[in-house]
Amino acid sequence: MINQKRLKEAFLSLVRIDSPSLQEKPVAEWIRQELENIGISCTEDGSSAQTGSNTGNLVACLPGDSSLAPLLLAAHMDTVQPCAQKRAVEVNGRIVSGGDTILGADDLAGIAILLEVCRCLQEQGTSHPPITLLFTTGEEIGLVGAKALKGDMLHADLGYVLDDAGPAGGAICHAPAHVKLNVRIAGKGAHAGVEPEKGVDAIRLFARAVDAMALGRIDEETTANFGIVQGGSAMNAVPAHLEAVGEVRSRDMEKLSRQITHMRRCFENAAKHFGGKVELEQTVLYQAVSLDEQQPVVQKLKKAAEVLNLPFCSKISGGGSDASVLNGLGIPTATLSVGYENMHTTEEYLDLREFFKAAQLVWKLVAE
């Protein structure tokens, strides 16, 4: 069974360690030492050369009953800013930050649970499937650690990422594919006060395209947005160049493709109207997650929740997590709620009751 006092102390220890994205080494060293203390060795992959982090992802393997489906359990080591010199305060069954930083329960709570489950397995000698533990870098800045993983390091038929807000029993089973769009517009420069007629305004071209474009909430599965726009060089010059960065997300790949085609045509039509040129480059950041209730990864979770009398809730997310990458690698992976709320804000808190329930749920998932 889960040792709640030890679990809480582990979380509080993690909160005291600064771990902004790409500076996760102190947390990685703490995890490595904690695992070694209970007889589990871990390997650092070579992803730091690609990600720019001061550490790689950590991978540890726990041999188990080979007749059972091998399992992957994961959490990420980085936290969003502001996270320097975090302080944890317990108030009415919650752990909150000191108010001037985030708490970091996203995702230090997930790390603490995984380590406590490992301690319990080693202490109690409970039968369990072969388990791969994964601790990633740079999740908060685009899943960069997970994307740099070599798939052959992971040996699992199904997985769970401990990285979602809300009460224990919730799990993200559906999430969109995500495509990044880089747009470059070439117009023609001219003096804005003397001969503007000779120019081709890149900003007007972009504005015309966007005005004709469906953006925001396209339907219940699809969204589109431009979040960065940079153009022009001087107040008195017709802007000759503009660059923009946008995105399209959808849980339906056909809808995703149609939306990108629509946006491309809007740019092409605007370029034809004004006489400029447009280049649109698209990059797939991650694939969609679609786990129906009949899949083993969901069935296993539902059964464990039922045993604990937890209300299982299959959730739909509009964002991505390391599970998005792991599903793309062929490992059906759900993202579990671990009891924190108000993530990415200085009002973030960890509900201890739900935190302990989430740990017990993970224990049920691994203890056969």
Residues with active-site annotation: 78, 139
Give Cβ neighbours of residue 257 (< 8 Å, ≥ 6 apart): none
For the chain, the three-class secondary structure string (H helix, E strand, C coil) is CCCHHHHHHHHHHHHCCCCECCCCHHHHHHHHHHHHHCCCCEEECCCHHHHCCCCCCEEEEECCCCCCCCEEEEEECCECCCCCCCCEEEECCEEEECCCCCCCHHHHHHHHHHHHHHHHHHHHCCCCCCEEEEEECCHHHCCHHHHCCCHHHCCCCEEEEEEECCCCCEEEEEECEEEEEEEEEECECCECCCCHHHCECHHHHHHHHHHCCCCEEEECCEEEEEEEEEECCCCCECCCEEEEEEEEEECCHHHHHHHHHHHHHHHHHHHHHHCCEEEEEEEEEECCEECCCCCHHHHHHHHHHHHCCCCCEEEECCCCCHHHHHHHCCCCEEEEECCEECCCCCCCEEEHHHHHHHHHHHHHHHCC
From CA 40, how far away is CA 114, in angstroms rounded? 13
